[in-house]
Structure 1
């Protein structure tokens, strides 16, 4: 593990493979504490919050904070261009935290409150849902790389210096704390729900590089979905995110603008052991934002814009997704 270059090349290859496959079908803070965007939730449940949106900040400091996420979708109920449509507006108010356990082990957790609205093109009524959403808890192990030993130079001391590269392994679960309503599953977008009603497994692998000014992080996450009491199972999901950021120091605070990509791939929904047609899909987003650190306060904003998408048989179109958060370092 002295040389992290093979791991970097492997992650880059994975991202390239995703883009090629798509084309064939149609995070004052020192960057040595490299950050990573951690998983949040899925499109097919938990109020359509994408797993690629992240569950952390660019800085890897432990924190407790609040985040607001706004998303909107347009759903078309039919195969024709003039078929009736609806607009869904999803607002999430999330309490989230990252808490240390041991030197290289930490935990992350989130609890969202959902406020959802749906407006129909051919009706005057408006549909609304609100309540506690699905909570998530994860445990993480951070594997820090050491600098490569230079046999020509003076021998390394007993404690070798750390490099700027690290990887993280995460295992956790999404809990069925939000209410699931089966009556809403016959709509074009069955993800218009406060919760999924299911217990889901979450498995993540991340890579971080944190230099003095420039940083990069990547995260791959797989969601293994369970069936709820209605024998309704949202499709398993694979999420990926890559982010590059740059630290700009000022007298009393630091600013880190960032650019990146994120995406999700969803399997079909199942009920009573049968797969439901046109309930799978994928989406690729371009992301831009910035994070500001002032003493123990971390402020951030993130905008995700769809670049390519094919959701629910192309009957659901995701719009821009916006997030604001304020965290307090522990």
Structure 2
């Protein structure tokens, strides 16, 4: 058991990987995936590192202007079941952004608080019953509405530079208040289940007249719960993640080399040790078309350590 716990913590602490979502930083989306098992509330830390390559040529090849950008994020996250029907989930991210030239020289870096997200969910229905084979069938649907606050610093000079050389993504935040309607569905037959999430991020214009494109994100994962004794449960999972982002607008003018879509294959492991939950999720692109082919996304790794109480 001790060796198993040590292994899980090593997985949770390993945060280096090539990765990105469409925006890759404080202006991107928020991946939730499988939540830790909890009855009343949980609190924890998530760690992720995203990498993206920008300023490729029209054929997607590197040039002297190509930059490699790294976005590290440490997030305090938690959820609270206020009642049987109502749930609140919040994410407070702190980001570390770095940009490198094609020769691997550090060009710029910045760090600070990114945009805080608060989601409220209502349980539309929940059901648990046995089938003819005496297997328990459980499923539930939650509908929610989130608010992304403008807590991350938005640099207008970065916006001006981006118009000429690269997408406007090297930011800690969008500088705008945005809205995120979403749904979460879970279906399980005994120990095998399917979890699905979908959200649509509606962005507003910030004070510098820049509006990031709205973003649709959806993911589905199949998982299997395995009991290791009375105190440990693990749930390996695999699935697919889809993201589509519309193009940005600057002073109401369309920014062509923005937006796009990506499809990722996902694989992960969730472990529960009494009240402690540890998870790791890996994503790798199967298809992408970002920034009219001038942006390239790599793999993505996200880990968390959470405690229910």
Matched, 1:83 2:63: yes
Please state how far the C-alpha of 1:301 moved relative to its aligned partner.
Answer: 0.5
Matched, 1:220 2:225: no
Please state how far the C-alpha of 1:143 moved relative to its aligned partner.
Answer: 2.3
Matched, 1:197 2:175: yes
Matched, 1:171 2:145: yes
**1:134 is matched with which residue: 100, 115, 137?**
115
**1:244 is matched with which residue: 203, 206, 222?**
222
Q: Is the 8 A contact 1:285 1:308 kept in 2?
A: yes
Matched, 1:184 2:158: yes
Pairing of 1:150-165 with structure 2 (within 5 A): 164-165=138-139
Bigger relative contact order (CA 8 A; separation at least 6)? 2
Gaps of 5+ in 1: 1-40, 151-161
**Which residue matches 1:290?**
269
Q: Is the 8 A contact 1:145 1:163 kept in 2?
A: no
Deviations 1:163-212, CA, capped at 9 Å, x for gaps: 51211100111000000112223142322211111000010122211332
Distance 1:273 1:42, change over 3 A: farther
Matched, 1:277 2:256: yes
TM-score, length-scaled by structure 1: 0.79
TM-score, length-scaled by structure 2: 0.84
Distance in 1 between residues matched to 2:219 and 2:24, nearest whole Å:
19
Distance in 2 between residues matched to 1:247 and 1:292, nearest whole Å:
9
Q: CA RMSD in A?
A: 2.3
Higher strand share: 2
**Which residue matches 1:257?**
236
For residue 313 of structure 1, give the secondary structure of its aligned residue in structure 2. helix
Q: Is the 8 A contact 1:188 1:316 kept in 2?
A: no
Matched, 1:306 2:280: no
Please state how far the C-alpha of 1:147 moved relative to its aligned partner.
Answer: 6.5
Pairing of 1:38-117 with structure 2 (within 5 A): 43-44=22-23, 46-47=25-26, 49-51=28-30, 53-54=31-32, 57=35, 59=37, 61=39, 62-79=41-58, 81-84=61-64, 85-117=66-98
